[in-house]
Chains A and B, each alone.
Chain A
Amino acid sequence: MDNFKRFCLGVACCLALALTGMPPARADDFSGLESGDFDQVCASITGLAGSGNPQAVTVLEALEQHALFFAPAGGLFIVHGQTYTDARTGQAVATPPDGVKPIKLNNRVRKALASAQAELALASSQAQERQKAADLLYVRHDPAFLPALDHALASEKNTQVHLHLLRARAATLLAQPAEGAGSVDARIGAVKALESVGGLEARGLLAAVAAADVEAPGVRKAAADAVAHIDWHLRVWNVLQNAFYGLSYGSVLLLAATGLAITFGVMGVINMAHGELMMIGAYVTWMVQQAIRGTVPALEPVSILVAIPVAFGVCGALGVLIERGLIRFLYGRPLETLLATWGLSLVLQQAVRSIFGPTNIAVQTPSWLSGSVSVGGMDITLNRLAILVFAFAVLGGLMLVLRRTALGLEMRAVTQNRRMAALMGIRTPRVDALAFGLGAGLAGLAGVAVSQIDNVSPNLGQSYIIDSFMGVVFGGGGNLWGTLAAAMALGMGGKVLEPTVGAVSAKIAILVLVILYIQRHPRGMFPVRGRGVES
């Protein structure tokens, strides 16, 4: 089939030539790109990078951006909107030939492309670009780039970049088989260089060197020592990394549980529809994003910030509505409230399903929340870090509300002794409605956060509800410090267990531990003290 296609292509080329009298397709650095065959495209990319062709940088960039097109009859074009440029000459083309198609990429092409671009970037005038290129070649450690690295090293003035180039060269050197790739001393030097870099990548390379029979004994020993050294570092960092995972998992639980803790503390009811309010918060995030994209696209990256107050408002209002329309009729019957809110959760779920459809919706993660930063030997993913900060900010804000505002004072009074608070003139129904609204608003905030790490579908609430219940009862009812401690304990516990026993068993173990803990301490870690709650 492919051969047949190529044959057709050839025939078409000849025909086109015969008809138009165009010069024959040159077998130059570019011709592989026109072939439609991944092997030749890759070869052509590598060739271009080493050729010193002035068009190389532009062409490769266009290829990366899907802007490099080829004509079946021969000819490469860089296309931007309606303007066509001949890739070989860089001159504008008025009327492109028929049937131009973008050049397809696959992972192999992308990889060759990245390496080729890095090779070209070694000659860049920007130190930052050169350093990035050196880092990429360090990861690739492809022996083919050794000459390019040597060349770059010879002329590099910037000490920082020089260091990165040296590392890349060390890795590239060690990735080659022992024979004919540097003296024993040079290889031991390379081992030392990699040891100073540390990390998984270096460890992998060094372990391979230490296990290679062809390597000189001195090199192998140095490599083995280096591996042991790196391993020790990795273990230490691993502990910290797991601690971060635990914190970040705990912060998600914390966000999900604080709202629940508020309503439970003030009113003694567990809101089973809490998860659904989170889900609505996530949908609000999506709607805000869509609206902003439709009206002011420039603000799209910060749409998530706009979504925070909107989600709080929408869910809070919904919460007040639920309290006024449903919960207040069930006063003094917390278990019935539990059932009623469960019914409500089913209705909300199905309503969202009817309106938005049952499938996942795509909430975009802005670029400033994507990716990760390396701190020593661990990676801190930005979206998780943002949620961690957000969770503590929400908790701090909530503390302020509870301690510094009149509503907070009233809520605390009602929590401690409803009857007495009422006698002192506090309008407990109003406090209840506002407390429920506050709890629901917090669920909305949790929804905004969760939309950045999880899928947003009508089922979203279900997956968080049990964990957040655990957080509340484990922590001890309406105590925010308790909720914080519980969420972090659950998060940390889960993440400490997970690498050894697996995700499922870790979860089961945590549940069983919480059950047993509740048996010993029936009101959680930090029980709310006060006359009203002791029944």
Chain B
Amino acid sequence: MPVTPFNLSRRAFGRLALASSAAVVGAAYRPGVALAAAPKGEPIKVGILHSLSGTMAISETTLKDVMLMLIEEQNRKGGLLGRPLQAVVVDPASNWPLFAEKARQLLSVDKASAVFGCWTSVSRKSVLPVFEELNGILFYPVQYEGQECSRNIFYTGAAPNQQAIPAVDYLLSEDGGGAKRFALVGTDYVYPRTTNQILVNYLKSKGIKEEDILVNYTPFGQSDWQTIVSQIKAFGSAGKKTAVVSTINGDANVPFYKELGNQGISATDIPVMAFSVGEEELAGMDTKPLVGQLAAWNYFESIDTPANQNFIKQWHAYTKNPKRTTNDPMEAHYIGFNMWVQAVTKAGTTDHDKVIDAMIGVRQPNLTGGIAEMLPDHHLTKPVYIGEIQDDGQFSVVWKTPQLVPGQAWSPWVPETKDLVGDWRKPIACGNYNTVSKSCLGARHG
């Protein structure tokens, strides 16, 4: 049981709680780990801010587990700076204000040296002011809509140009079917809205006409897709090659795909490219009717590299479940955690300012090949893969970008942000620097 010390008057209990909980944590996580071999000294605390209950538990619980695994492994390797790492797990319960409260607790009560957490955009937006105020470090592992660049957040998931744009490029290409007509279907929240806004502008620049783009939004947890799927079907029978780009949120995907299959829309007629469907989601679906449907990610479990094999083996051993899948956000945490370890080692301290500065330029091999580099705008370079769903619940990679794609915080396809860049190196040190007016629009530290 992960136990975290929490006490209102930390002065009174601080040391005692720390020492005892460190022992409890060390002993309780894996009895197999010999405590004697563990590094000595005051533990470095790593906060884990993922929902363990509520609607988001379905996705986030796995990320908590992968963080515990990484921390345990690091401790076995001798910890960090000669000190042991200690995980502090809290449950923000899929409640956005609670995310802010827990973030404050991790930073000001537990003094976490780094926090790994959040999944939804709103949870990130909720904790962002807290991290900026208390100058913490957050690693955010999920693909997101971009248009943000905080000094205190490292975005280890994909920005739109590392997922959405290459995916559409693929659909436009001959291999992808040479689509001329696009249905952009998404859940009504900020990630699909921004992604679709970027994609519409991008598609228009590729010569796709306005009337050949259909944008549709549905509420969270939509379970009755009959009408929308039949609309897609009608849209797709206008004589031009049609593709669907889906930014439908995790939970609603199962009934969506079931309806697609039942209404007889197959991947060879109208392929569906999804940005939120990964191995974990497929594990809850009967994939036979979905063979050939597409997903764009920076990582697939099926990619056959020694590093990935190793990671999967380790994951199965840790969870004692040979069927547990791995997915893209897990790799993002793997990269983020190892980068943080490198940066702390480089800086020789866990001091937040020094670590933030040391992070830029850190390089860490991806599990699927290539090397991820932390860019000045706190995004990563990533390979982009297109996978096709197979009947065994895995993806088979059918396309990849020729080079690694550097993440862009601000999209050049949105008029308001086309001149913005993020660069947290001196002398610019600004999250939203306007390259035309040569001025910082305000996202500056302090």
User: Which residues of A does B touch, CB under 8 Å?
Assistant: 1, 38, 104-108, 110-111, 114, 139, 200-201, 203-205, 207-208, 241-242, 245, 248-249, 252, 350, 353, 357-365, 370-372, 379, 381-384, 452-459, 462-463, 494-495, 498-499, 502-504, 507
Residue of A nearest to B218 (CB): A503
CB <8 Å contact, B177 and A107: yes
Asked if B263 lies at the interface with its beta carbon under 8 angstroms from chain A, I say: yes
Apart from A358-B52, A370-B289, A379-B264, list 8 A-B contacts with CB within 8 A: A108-B176, A241-B230, A245-B230, A379-B263, A384-B262, A455-B285, A458-B58, A504-B218
Residues in chain A near residue B267, CB distance under 8 A: 107, 110
**3 tightest A-B CB contacts, nearest first:** A360-B284, A455-B254, A200-B237
Q: Mark B286-307, 1 if CB is under 8 A from A, else 0.
A: 1001001010000000000000
Asked if B210 lies at the interface with its beta carbon under 8 angstroms from chain A, I say: no
CB <8 Å contact, A207 and B284: no
Chain B nearest CB from A138 CB (Å) reads: 12
User: Which residues of B does A touch, CB under 8 Å?
Assistant: 52-53, 55, 57-58, 61-62, 174-177, 188, 216-219, 221-224, 226-228, 230-231, 233-234, 237-239, 251, 253-255, 258-259, 261-264, 267-269, 271, 280-281, 283-286, 289, 292, 294, 388, 393, 396, 398, 402
Most B Cβ at <10 Å: residue of A38, A200, A360, A370: A360
Chain A nearest CB from B344 CB (Å) reads: 31
Q: How far does the alpha carbon of A498 sit from the alpha carbon of B177 in the complex, in Å?
A: 31
CB <8 Å contact, A203 and B251: no
Q: How far does the alpha carbon of A110 sit from the alpha carbon of B396 in the complex, in Å?
A: 14
CB <8 Å contact, A249 and B286: no
Residues in chain B near residue A499, CB distance under 8 A: 227, 231
CB <8 Å contact, A361 and B284: yes
- Given that A371-B264, A463-B223 are contacting pairs, would A207 and B280 also be in contact in the complex, using a CB cutoff of 8 Å? no
Q: How far does the alpha carbon of A204 sit from the alpha carbon of B235 in the complex, in Å?
A: 10
Q: How far does the alpha carbon of A111 sit from the alpha carbon of B388 in the complex, in Å?
A: 14
Residues in chain B near residue A456, CB distance under 8 A: 284
Q: Is the interface of A mostly helix, strand, loop or mixed?
A: helix
The residue that A360 contacts in the complex, of B58, B226, B263, with Cβ under 8 A, is B58
The residue that B223 contacts in the complex, of A365, A379, A453, with Cβ under 8 A, is A453
Residues in chain A near residue B231, CB distance under 8 A: 499
Q: How far does the alpha carbon of A453 sit from the alpha carbon of B237 in the complex, in Å?
A: 25
The residue that B58 contacts in the complex, of A104, A242, A358, with Cβ under 8 A, is A358
CB <8 Å contact, A381 and B262: yes
CB <8 Å contact, A106 and B237: no
- Given that A381-B263, A507-B219 are contacting pairs, would A110 and B292 also be in contact in the complex, using a CB cutoff of 8 Å? yes
Chain B nearest CB from A129 CB (Å) reads: 19
Most B Cβ at <10 Å: residue of A205, A252, A453, A494: A453
Chain B nearest CB from A75 CB (Å) reads: 22
Q: How far does the alpha carbon of A360 sit from the alpha carbon of B237 in the complex, in Å?
A: 33
- Given that A203-B237, A455-B255 are contacting pairs, would A358 and B227 also be in contact in the complex, using a CB cutoff of 8 Å? no
The residue that A454 contacts in the complex, of B223, B233, B402, with Cβ under 8 A, is B223
The residue that A459 contacts in the complex, of B62, B224, B251, with Cβ under 8 A, is B251
Residue of A nearest to B254 (CB): A455
CB <8 Å contact, A359 and B58: yes
Q: How far does the alpha carbon of A357 sit from the alpha carbon of B237 in the complex, in Å?
A: 41
CB <8 Å contact, B227 and A242: yes
Q: How far does the alpha carbon of A455 sit from the alpha carbon of B256 in the complex, in Å?
A: 10
